[in-house]
Structure 1
Amino acid sequence: MRLALGIRYDGRAYEGWQSQPSGRTVQDKLEAALAQLASKPIRTLCAGRTDTGVHGLMQVVHFDTEVQRAPFSWVRGTNRYLPEDIAVQWAQEVPAAFHCRASAVSRRYLYILAQSPVRPSLDAGRVGWSMYPLDGDAMRAGAAHLLGTHDFSSFRASACQALSPVKNLRYIEIRRIGAGERCRWHVEFEADAFLHHMIRNIMGCLVRIGQGQAAPDWMREVLAARSRLAAAPTFSPAGLYFLGPQYDAQWGLPPEVTAGAAASSYDGLP
């Protein structure tokens, strides 16, 4: 049978999602735990690979297995063997036609940015940082140039393996949390898919605009250039959270990954 799992993890201790020879990735830890539970090797596929230091609020994976267990056993049993900063949230049998990556209709990310005269301490590794005040209206005006279907080559890492740089960025929502010189900014993204480092490169440009170092219309110039050299440096991975993929209701998956539903819970975030 084919199973889908929802995974939540703190990415600070890991070299990203994808398996590496070091074994210090989220995929390595998850597959080791599943092998312990199933008493045989299990290989997983994920909906969206995350980089070193990036967090997952609702990563979705699938795998095929002959081992028969109730869904709650896959959750509790796997969590028994996982480190404390990774936890399975739900497990569900899915049709053989389901593919966690190919079946997704969109993906969502959240970037949390701390605005403060001094660097983060308790939240280090969990938020990005701007020591200068940010202009939210300017950032929103800059972000508006990116909405829709475009060639996002200017925001693409050189190591990106995507077949095409053309993506449909459906929305960017920028919200300020708190007042005064110390506050949080939540920047939420949804697209059909994202390029490698695309959000972190967009964030670098948004922060430059927010700090008054560039006008909002500069974002349009960066996009039109279709060159990574035109954009700002890649921003920190610390504040980036994969909110998860979205699927059509036909797959019968939990509400947090059903297209059109509210984004995954922000409980416990900075």
Structure 2
Amino acid sequence: MPRFALKVEYDGAPFAGWQRQAEHPSVQGAIEAALAKLEPGEHTIAAAGRTDAGVHARGQVCHCDLQKDWSPFRLSEALNHHLKPLPVAIVDAAEVEGDWHARFSAMERRYLFRLVSRRAPLTLEAGQVWQVKHDLELAPMQEAARHLIGLHDFTTFRSTMCQAASPVKTLDALDIRELETDWGTEFQFRLRARSFLHNQVRSFVGTLERVGAGAWAPEDVKAALDARDRAACGPVCPPQGLYLVGVGYPDDPFQR
């Protein structure tokens, strides 16, 4: 049975998350249903990460096992045909070794969070960013973010429902940029790590937003981290500004 890696882009708004659910639409369910149109029967795919309801992706990666030896181009074209009109697209496909795994072979995950500061309601960007109506200061957020980089116990910044065996993780990067755009002042948070805890990125951004708004000082973020207490976390921001933008592998199957 040939195994294929798929790079997936999706708008998370109409889905209850990546993971298949019996009573709610999911991205996994949509792709498995499309696979069943190509090869009748049950299909189970595995992803690099399970995004929550409302979270988007530009570079999610999953793998599937098929009976037929498809060419990667024909496979992606056929899946995209059967995924219509859902906001899910296979942007690349590659045949991989039988022991290659979208989750366990991954070295890192990269996320982007988009936050827009503007008074007027958003129209074209609605559902794609988190909007706040007040001004934010970039430098204090950047100063606060430096306390989070490195190896830490991130108990404060993970959901109480997180199933990870340990709260200790290494955050390799947390870069924040300010962009003046036609739709407002956009702040982009780019994060990179081998793996993330449940709600870790949204907990980071919600807390850092409080710093940018002047409600917290940068050193308050370090105190929250050191507390190792979920109650010390700032507000968890909404999901619509979060994107899984890439997954890193020792041998990237999409680099030909």
Equivalence map 1:91-240=2 (5 Å): 91-178=93-180, 182-240=184-242
Tell me which residue corresponds to 1:80: 81
TM-score, scaled relative to structure 2 = 0.95
Q: Point out where structure 1 has 5 or more consecutive residues left out of the alignment.
A: 259-270
Partners of 2:247 and 2:211 in 1: CA distance? 29
Shift of residue 22, structure 1, vs aligned partner = 1.8
Q: In structure 2, the residue corresponding to 1:32 is in which secondary structure?
A: helix
Partners of 1:182 and 1:25 in 2: CA distance? 31
Partners of 1:205 and 1:8 in 2: CA distance? 28
Partners of 1:20 and 1:237 in 2: CA distance? 19
Q: In structure 2, the residue corresponding to 1:214 is in which secondary structure?
A: coil
Shift of residue 180, structure 1, vs aligned partner = 10
Equivalence map 1:12-31=2 (5 Å): 12-31=13-32
Shift of residue 120, structure 1, vs aligned partner = 2.1
Partners of 1:130 and 1:72 in 2: CA distance? 42
Q: Paired residues, what number?
A: 254
The residue type paired with residue 212 of structure 1 is G
The residue type paired with residue 230 of structure 1 is A
Partners of 1:5 and 1:181 in 2: CA distance? 33
Tell me which residue corresponds to 1:253: 253
Partners of 1:40 and 1:67 in 2: CA distance? 13
Q: Answer yes or no: is the 8 Å Cα contact 1:115–1:183 preserved in 2.
A: yes
Q: Answer yes or no: is the 8 Å Cα contact 1:204–1:232 preserved in 2.
A: yes
Tell me which residue corresponds to 1:7: 8
Give the aligned CA root-mean-square deviation in angstroms. 1.6
TM-score, scaled relative to structure 1 = 0.90
Partners of 2:181 and 2:3 in 1: CA distance? 48
Q: In structure 1, the residue corresponding to 2:13 is in which secondary structure?
A: helix
Shift of residue 42, structure 1, vs aligned partner = 1.4
Partners of 2:191 and 2:214 in 1: CA distance? 22
Partners of 2:124 and 2:91 in 1: CA distance? 25
Cα deviations across residues 46-104 of structure 1 (Å, max 9, x unaligned)?
00110000001011001222222111111000111103410101111111221111111
Shift of residue 179, structure 1, vs aligned partner = 7.0
Q: Answer yes or no: is the 8 Å Cα contact 2:15–2:24 preserved in 1.
A: no
Change (3 A) 1:177 1:196: same
Q: In structure 2, the residue corresponding to 1:11 is in which secondary structure?
A: coil
Q: Point out where structure 2 has 5 or more consecutive residues left out of the alignment.
A: none
Change (3 A) 1:38 1:179: closer
Change (3 A) 1:181 1:120: closer
Q: Answer yes or no: is the 8 Å Cα contact 1:115–1:181 preserved in 2.
A: no
Cα deviations across residues 115-148 of structure 1 (Å, max 9, x unaligned)?
1123323211100012111110000000000000
Partners of 1:242 and 1:41 in 2: CA distance? 27
Change (3 A) 1:95 1:51: same
Partners of 2:183 and 2:28 in 1: CA distance? 39
Q: In structure 2, the residue corresponding to 1:12 is in which secondary structure?
A: coil
The residue type paired with residue 15 of structure 2 is Y
